[in-house]
Amino acid sequence: MNTGEAHVRVTELFGTELADLHLKVLCGDSDLGNKISHPRVQKPGLAFAGYYAYIKPGRVQIIGESETEYLRTVSEVEQEERFRRIAELGVPVFVITKGIPAFPAFLAQCRAHHVPVLGSPALSSTVIKRISFFLEDHLVPVTQMHAVLVSVYGLGVLLIGKSGVGKSESALDLVTRGHSLVADDRVTIRRYPSGDLVGYSEGAGRHHMELRGLGIINVKDLFGLAAVRDRKSIDLVVELEHWEEGRSYDRLGLDESVYTILDTAVPYIRMPVATGRSVSILVEIAARNHVLKLQGHDSAREFVNRLEAEIERSRRRR
């Protein structure tokens, strides 16, 4: 499992996800490598008024019409002083909205302090919403796992286990049974502020699987659009492992284990793989059973409770 501290460089704002903002560089072409480290954006109105404690390093600063109109009411000397003070506070980038022309003194201070300034013709509300959504999706804890993620009865089931244990083959069998593939071999997982773990596949490998003896197959082309999903929350982890004679396995289903991903506990099942076992059917049943548990029906616990009640009744009759 590989983890990394998430950040976004200013140059990433020019990708296809924010193409509708039509961002352009007003100054600071050489500083587009600055790191954005906070998902929330700010409007520096208070800072332009002289209250600099409001500015937080690592945040995108949005300058709109209200900030610009206020600055026109102060002297050029005050403007330059406030521009300098703000540019010194670790701002990674400023974005000016509505196509408003930037103050030359502001651009000069930003150049001097290596802070790029971008412009957009979009409204401030649109820029704030779009950039905030982009940053929230990218500035969250992230990891990658060697695993397979499938959607089974609406649950995101993460199949883990050693190479060659049959994860991809089991996932393919599940797809033929009407379920959906999310990612094969390498699953990228992000943890959002809500606590949800969301997995997906990055790059050219999306919707593809590698099968020993067959090579790379395109699941969407073979089975149709319903056979794939772009991303899915992870609700259950199933570890496939080769059957070992004499090893103890949970036979009642009372073992409520968890698997930790990005400091988040996920229900976990260890499933032995042996000749003659239909792993895909077992994964289906595990998913169905987990849905029942979420609805308040724990079959194993109910069985044990009935058994204990019967033993107690038998004891009393003696």
Q: Among this protein's residues, is 85 annotated catalytic?
A: no
Q: Is 125 helix (H, G, I), strand (E, B) or coil?
A: helix
Which of these is catalytic: 43, 84, 111, 146? Answer: 146
Q: What contacts 276, CB < 8 A, 6 or more positions away?
A: none
Catalytic residue flag (residue 146): yes
- State yes or no: is 167 an active-site residue: yes
- The distance from CA 65 to its chain's CA centroid, rounded to whole angstroms, is 33
Please give the C-alpha separations between residue 174 and each of 44, 157, 299, in angstroms, as whole numbers: 52, 11, 23
Q: Catalytic residue at 251? A: yes
Q: Is 58 helix (H, G, I), strand (E, B) or coil?
A: coil
Catalytic residue chosen out of the listed positions 212, 247, 251, 316: 251
Query: What's the CA gap between 80 and 84, in Å, rounded?
Result: 6
CA distance 12 to 116: 13
Please give the full DSSP string across 138-165, using - where no structure is assigned: HSS-EEEEE-EEEEETTEEEEEE-STTS
Which residues, 6 or more positions from 297, have their beta carbon under 8 angstroms from its beta carbon? none
162-167: long-range contacts (C-beta < 8 A, 24 or more apart)?
162/241, 162/242, 164/212, 165/240, 165/241, 165/242, 165/273, 166/240, 166/273, 166/279, 167/240
Q: Quick one: tokens of 224? A: 């149709």
- Set 59, 82, 167, 229: catalytic member: 167
Return the beta strands (E) in 1-93 as ranges: 2-4, 8-9, 24-27, 35-36, 61-63
- Say how far apart CA 164 and CA 241 lie, in whole Å: 10
Per annotation, catalytic residue among 173, 185, 196, 298:
185
The catalytic residues are 146, 167, 185, 251
